[in-house]
Amino acid sequence: MSKSTKKVISIVVTILLFALSLVTIVPFIWMFVSSFAPNSEIVKITGGIFPAPTTLDNYANIQKTFNFFRLFANSVFIATVKTVLVIYISAVLGYVFSKMHFRGRNVLFGAVLSTMMLPWAVTIIPQYEMMVQFGWLDTYRSLIVPGLVSGFGVFLFRQSIGSISDEIIEAAKLDGAGDARIFHQIILPMSRNSIAALAIFTFLWNWEDYLWPFLMITDSDKMLLSVGLKMFNGQYGTDYGGLFAATSLAIIPVIIVYMVFQKQFIAGIATGSGK
């Protein structure tokens, strides 16, 4: 292939990637600009693509529409707690399935992976019945406990930890280190890429989850932000300006998490994709 052909292909690929990035970014820009516009400006048919940003009332009134900051704090708490617990449990199981040898290990690992094959919608009714029997409705336990074991997380850590040399672990054992010390002082620090990747995915999944929190929580003080945003939808209309303002603030934690872990994110996915 000649240099001119390679250059043409590179230009075409660059243009395609730029076009795809615009398709992804422009709706977010439109939403952010619209959060500074009144409803009349947002829903009008005539005019330009973007509404004219002329007001800050949408941001000033979201706390009046509903207890935005309380719901925001609830979502941060649930997403953070679940992310930390899922990472730790996935790392422990990944270490067990990767470095410990016992009868039935592969069968158990296959059972964990099989949970990834089931559509989540299939388990909604059984899980709901279990929460009723446990008396966990309208409690945060119903949001945290059912999702503590992640098949994807276990698989990711098993692949990542499997690439760690057995000689390192054997040397630590010769120095008198137990499994708990090896896991916390050797395995976890060497798995930071996988931790970053799973942290981003888990936080995002829990931050944007709507259906399960909607079914479990009815107390307005315990409600999550993803469910609370529906309060902008009235019987006869929708406060689009307030909805866009609240949504713009709601994506801030996701952006922060990604910015914190972005350096390890790609490396973590590459590590977990194969041994």
Domains of the chain by start residue, with CATH? 62-273 (1.10.3720.10)
What pLDDT score was predicted for residue 270? 55
Structure confidence by residue, pLDDT tens digits, 59-73: 888 887 778 889 999
Element (H, E) at 184: none
| Residue 79 contacts residue 207 (beta carbons within 8 Å) | yes
Q: How confident is the model at residue 272 (pLDDT cuts 50, 70, 90)?
A: very low
Structure confidence by residue, pLDDT tens digits, 24-64: 899 889 899 988 988 888 887 776 788 888 888 888 888 87
What pLDDT score was predicted for residue 273? 47
pLDDT at 102 over 90: no
Distance in angstroms (rounded) separating the CA atoms of residues 44 and 160: 52
Structure confidence by residue, pLDDT tens digits, 179-231: 889 999 989 988 888 888 899 889 999 998 999 999 999 888 899 998 888 87
Weakest-pLDDT range from 4-8, 131-135, 224-228: 4-8
What pLDDT score was predicted for residue 275? 46
Element (H, E) at 7: helix 3-34
Helix (H, G, I), strand (E, B) or coil at 120: helix
| Residue 113 contacts residue 197 (beta carbons within 8 Å) | no
**Cβ contacts of residue 209 below 8 Å, gap of 6+?**
224, 226
What pLDDT score was predicted for residue 266? 61
Q: Taking all residues of the chain, what is their mean pLDDT, rounded to a whole number?
A: 86
**Cβ contacts of residue 72 below 8 Å, gap of 6+?**
225, 249, 250
Span 231-251, average pLDDT: 79
Of 270, 253, 254, the closest CA to residue 156 belongs to 270
What tokens were used for 271?
Answer: 């590590």
